[in-house]
Amino acid sequence: MRVVVADDHPVFRRGLVGVLGEADDVDLVAEAADGEQAVDVAVRERPDVVLMDLNMAGTGGVEATRRIADAAPEVAVLVLTMHDDRDSVGAALRAGARGYLVKGAGGERIVEAVRAVAAGEAVFGADVAGQVLGRLADQRAPREGPFPTLTERELEVLDLIAGGRSNTEIARTLVLSDKTVRNHVSNIFAKLGVPDRAQAIVRARQAGLG
pTM given for the model? 0.63
Q: Mean pLDDT score of the chain, rounded to an integer?
A: 86
DSSP code at position 142: P
| Domain contains 54 | yes
Q: Which of 37-51, 155-169, 188-202 has the lowest mean pLDDT?
A: 188-202
Q: Do residues 93 and 150 share a domain?
A: no
> Does 10 lie in the same domain as 98?
yes
Binning pLDDT at 50, 70 and 90, where does residue 88 land?
A: confident
Check whether residue 10 and residue 114 sit in a common domain: yes
Of 108, 133, 158, at which residue does a domain stop? 133
- Beta carbons of 174 and 181 less than 8 angstroms apart: yes
The pLDDT tens digits for 157-179 are 999 999 999 999 999 888 888 88
Query: Is 191 in contact with 147 (CB distance < 8 Å)?
Result: yes
Neighbours of 67 (CB within 10 A): 20
Domain count, the chain: 2
pLDDT at 105 > cutoff 70: yes
**Domain assignment of residue 150, given as a range:** 143-206
Q: Per-residue pLDDT averaged across 124-153, rounded?
A: 63
Residue 206, pLDDT score = 92
Cβ atoms 162, 201 nearer than 8 A: yes
- Cα distances from 131 to residues 29, 53, 80, 100, 161, in angstroms, run 31, 18, 15, 11, 25
Residue 7 covered by a domain: yes
Q: Strand ranges (DSSP E) for 65-203?
A: 76-81, 99-102, 123-124
> What pLDDT is stored for residue 140 in this prediction?
47
83 and 187 both lie in a single domain: no
Q: Name the pLDDT band for 103 (thresholds 50, 70, 90).
A: confident
Instruction: Work out the pLDDT band at 1, boundaries 50, 70, 90.
Output: very high
Cα separation, 86 vs 131, whole angstroms: 5
Average pLDDT over residues 122-148: 61
CATH number at residue 59: 3.40.50.2300
Say whether pLDDT at 185 is over 50. Answer: yes
User: What local confidence, expressed as pLDDT, does residue 143 receive?
Assistant: 54
CATH code where residue 198 lies: 1.10.10.10
Establish how many alpha carbons lie within 13 A of residue 162's alpha carbon, considering only the half-sphere containing its beta carbon: 19
Q: Is residue 138 part of a domain?
A: no
Alpha carbon 1 to chain centroid distance? 23
Q: How many CB atoms lie within 10 A of CB 125?
A: 20
pLDDT of residue 20: 94
10 is a domain residue:
yes
